[in-house]
């Protein structure tokens, strides 16, 4: 890449970031919500909730057309903040948190299947922050399994210990070890 192209890309990125920062936080959240809605609609609509990770039988998540965009959708949901208009009207909970959780799980599964291990690890860890109990333990375990593929054994051990502790506290003896 020539220096002129590099200068253009650098200037373009600076202008993009400056324009983004000029938006009021509420407007930025609204724009992220709009981006979320458009991407989700163009990619095939909202996928069904995947099965719980703590179920012992079939833990596979069926693929959905939004899966390649799940990471971006999770980030747009996070940046959209607390916008009830992204979900079903009349629900009491924070809809964007639920959408972020849905797409983080889908992104983690998709990225792991695409051998993007480091990104999958990040998605599993973010997902673990939004869930609790056995679901949290299993997401930590899955992050640790992905770390095994990247050779990060020291970090992997602490995640597996935390996952075992959560399973033990919840009385999930079959999943503890």
Q: Which helix (H) or strand (E) holds 134?
A: helix 133-150
pTM of structure: 0.81
φ, ψ (nearest 5 deg) of residue 61: -105, 125
Between CA 106 and CA 118 the distance in angstroms is: 15
Q: How far is the CA of 94 from the CAs of 78, 85, 102, in angstroms?
A: 11, 11, 13
Residue 144 in 3-state DSSP?
helix
- In tens digits, the chain (177 residues) has pLDDT values of 566 565 555 567 777 778 778 888 888 888 888 999 999 999 999 999 988 887 555 567 789 999 999 999 999 999 988 554 554 444 434 678 899 999 999 999 999 999 999 999 999 999 999 999 989 999 999 999 998 888 878 888 899 999 989 988 877 666 655
What distance, in Å, lies between the first and last C-alpha atoms of the chain? 51
Length of the chain in residues, anyone? 177
List of residues 6+ apart from 3 with CB closer than 8 A? none
Short-list 149, 127, 148, CA closest to 138: 127
């Amino acid at each position: 890449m020539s220096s002129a192209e590099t200068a253009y890309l650098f200037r373009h990125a600076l202008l993009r970031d400056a324009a983004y920062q000029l938006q009021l936080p509420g407007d930025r959240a609204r724009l992220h919500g709009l981006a979320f809605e458009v991407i989700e609609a163009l990619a095939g609509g909202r996928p069904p909730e995947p099965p719980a990770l703590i179920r012992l039988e079939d833990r596979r998540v069926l693929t959905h057309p939004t899966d390649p965009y799940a990471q971006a959708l999770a980030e747009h949901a996070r940046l959209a903040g607390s916008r009830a208009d992204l979900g079903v009207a009349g629900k009491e909970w924070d809809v964007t948190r639920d959408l972020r959780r849905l797409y983080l799980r889908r992104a983690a599964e998709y990225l792991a299947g695409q051998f993007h291990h480091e990104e999958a690890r990040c998605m599993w860890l973010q997902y673990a922050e939004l869930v609790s109990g056995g679901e949290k333990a299993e997401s930590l375990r899955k992050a640790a399994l992905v770390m095994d593929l990247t050779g990060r054994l020291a970090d992997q051990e602490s995640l597996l210990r935390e996952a075992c502790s959560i399973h033990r506290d919840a009385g999930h003896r079959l999943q503890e070890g």
